[in-house]
Amino acid sequence: MDIQRVGVVGCGLMGSGIAEAAARAGLDVRVVDLDLASLERGRERISGSIARAQKGGKLSEPDAGAAIARIEYAADIGSLSDRQLVIEAVVESEPEKVTVFEMLDKVVEAPDAVLASNTSSIPIMKLAMATGRPSQVMGIHFFNPVPVLPLVELVTSLLTSDETVQTAERFATEQLGKQVIRSQDRAGFIVNALLIPYILSAVRMLESGFATADDIDLGMVKGCAHPMGPLALADLIGLDTTMAVANSLYQEFKEPLYAPPPLLARMVEAGLLGRKSDRGFYDYKA
């Protein structure tokens, strides 16, 4: 199936990035978020990102205008009834994602539509079994910022059909111009199963007083050629999301390296979530 009509559920950082990438690829995009304030913030985020791409010479003025015009915004999940592909990008919470898939199963009409999740860690099978069409459910996991980073993880459950995988891979590679890697349906998939223990180790190092946040991050940037250190990266991801992924990994594998350190839990409880709240391991207030 050649995807032309894309739906996105959730207009946060990832949902708005996915919508922008699809619109810039020439696709008809409809974004749904039940929170009108979140929907408006997402609209502003997309407009700002496209404006920056135009200013940087990556988009012409006509292409920028066309991309913005291809995106519709709605607060009714029923508006996704005609979509060929719907990507769920709500908060990293299994109950909330399951609810979204239950609703999508009822409203998406195309019998061959692909229902995908952008989850960072939740097993796809748990989402697929919330629908009556588990063969059409899979993970299409993007990375932040979506319009810039080229990677997409494709994650299949035991029940995902070959046709669903082929449609998703063609969408990601031929239509969005991304590079894909394939993962089995295990919590964390490939990237986060490697990344999250690394970040948690940095948090434990800071918590123990072994080194400062600046020195930990500078060591990995200058000593290992990483583009940013693990604590700055956690702030970018969001400390709440980092902890949610860690909890999902720990629940699946029961290995201590996946257990969130107490410092991370306290920071999330305090609302110190990183860049999204202007304060995490670093202070981002202007």
Q: Of 16, 117, 118, 120, which residue is the catalytic one?
A: 120
- Rounded CA-CA distance 75/72 in Å is 10
- Say whether 120 is catalytic: yes
For 82-118, the pLDDT digits (tens) are 999 999 999 999 999 999 999 999 999 999 999 999 9
Q: Which amino acid is at 196?
A: I
Q: Domain 191-277, CATH 1.10.275.10 — does that match?
A: no
Return the structure tokens found at 3: 């995807």
Q: Does the N-terminal peptide bond of residue 145 adopt cis geometry, omega within 30 degrees of 0?
A: yes
What 3-state class would DSSP assign to 110? coil
What is the homologous superfamily of the domain 5-183 according to CATH? NAD(P)-binding Rossmann-like Domain (3.40.50.720)
- Say whether 247 is catalytic: no
Per-residue pLDDT tens, the chain, 286 aa: give them: 789 999 999 999 999 999 999 999 999 999 999 999 999 999 999 999 999 999 999 999 999 999 999 999 999 999 999 999 999 999 999 999 999 999 999 999 999 999 999 999 999 999 999 999 999 999 999 998 999 999 999 999 999 999 999 999 999 999 999 999 999 999 999 999 999 999 999 999 999 999 999 999 999 999 999 999 999 999 999 999 999 999 999 999 999 999 999 999 999 999 999 999 999 999 998 7
Q: Of 117, 121, 192, 247, which residue is the catalytic one?
A: 192
CATH 1.10.1040.10 intervals, the chain? 191-277
Q: Of 153, 157, 183, 248, which residue is the catalytic one?
A: 153
Closest CA to 150 of 171, 124, 130, 179: 179
- Side by side, the strands of the sheet bearing 85-88 are 71-74, 28-32, 5-9, 85-88, 114-117, 137-142, 151-156, 179-183
- Say whether 61 is catalytic: no
Yes or no: say if 260 and 205 are a contact pair by the CB < 8 Å rule: no
Q: Of 49, 88, 94, 141, which residue is the catalytic one?
A: 141
